[in-house]
Amino acid sequence: MSKKTVILDAVRSPMGLKNGKMIGIRPDDLSAKVVKALLERNSGLPNKNIEDVVFGCAFPEGSQGMLLSRGVSILSEIPKEAAAKVVNRFCGSAMDAIHQVSQAIDSGDIDCGIGGGAEDMFGVPMGGFNPDFNPELYEKEYYIGMGETAENLASELNISREEQEEFAVDSHKKALNAAEKGLFENEIIPIDFNDEKISVDEGPREPDLDKIRSLSPAFDVDGTITPATSSPISIGASAALMVSEGLANKLGLEYEFKIVARSVAGVDWKMMGSGPIPATEKCLSKSGLTMDQIDVIELNEAFAAQSLYVIKKSGWDKSKINLNGGAIALGHPLGCSGSRIIATLMNVMKQQDSQYGLATMCIGTGQGIATIIERVK
């Protein structure tokens, strides 16, 4: 059988924010609801074929600890014979989970797996419950705050506060438009919690320009980055169902998407938001494609300054990027976002009748990750 990875489907939960309706739901329960729905809408694939469940999580402790993915697998009623593991590449964890399942399929180790991720940034704080810093790394500014790295990027390219605010407003407007037109419905799994059905993202809102302009800088008193131009703390889960092309054909499963190339790259941790640039360059080189051949892009919006830096430095066409809004509007639950943006990318590619799509993101500690997928039907 052909071992090339195809993605049968990818879905996500709504993204929940502070004081929202999803506060209090356990990440393992949330993830299981997403995975069960993913399997139910792909019932042509018997659960017995699933060989590995790989989940990303940036801070895998507390309610999202204890080998989160194995618990999710059991709660999702996947047979006990399926294995499971958790991977941690901070913001890129869920995309790395998809990469690892794809690598296992391409190598012939497995024929079917689930890759995804989850994060509850309210239940488990950034940094975890008991961070312990290495003195030498501390002196090297390895533990620099993400907001400070974004300020460094803004400073290098003189990205103004006004540019950042315009970018953030545009993210919200695109997300609101997508929600109003039902463009998220294919990727969002409604979540039943506390006697309510939650079916929309809690982040997108009509921008209040006066309030946005009145906000103080969040990370540097003389800086340009504010809460309005940063992705909000959030909770969410997402997952992708992948099989070998051979197994898909054997079982008569229809599919639209193939993984063309995967890559990771390292950068200066004080400029961590630049990570998508070398990761994308490596991905393009592996695929034999050029940026002109990429029809749509999902660039994770950790900060408006970070996204603008990548766009400006690389010369990317802004009209291809985050057509349904991005993380500034939707939220960025760290260990979930990598598979969330792949689910969104697949959705957008269908809507735009695209052939090639790129998903890429920066990663704390100075890394980038990228995935190119092809729509074949």
Q: In angstroms, rounded to a whole number, what is the distance separating the alpha carbons of residues 8 and 37?
A: 13
Of the residues 57, 91, 283, 336, which is catalytic? 91
Q: Are strands 196-198 and 191-193 parallel, antiparallel or unpaired?
A: antiparallel
Of the residues 99, 112, 172, 332, which is catalytic? 332
Is 336 designated active site?
A: no
Q: Who contacts 373 (Cβ-Cβ below 8 Å, separation ≥6)?
A: 7, 257, 258, 259, 260, 342, 345, 346, 349, 356, 357, 359
Q: In angstroms, rounded to a whole number, what is the distance separating the alpha carbons of residues 133 and 143?
A: 8
Is 362 designated active site?
A: yes
Q: In angstroms, rounded to a whole number, what is the distance separating the alpha carbons of residues 179 and 166?
A: 20
Q: Are strands 367-375 and 356-363 parallel, antiparallel or unpaired?
A: antiparallel
φ/ψ of 48, rounded to 5, equals -65, -15
129: DSSP letter: S
- Tracing tokens 């809460």 back to the chain, one arrives at 227
Q: Who contacts 348 (Cβ-Cβ below 8 Å, separation ≥6)?
A: 296, 298, 323, 324, 354, 357
Catalytic positions are 91, 332, 362
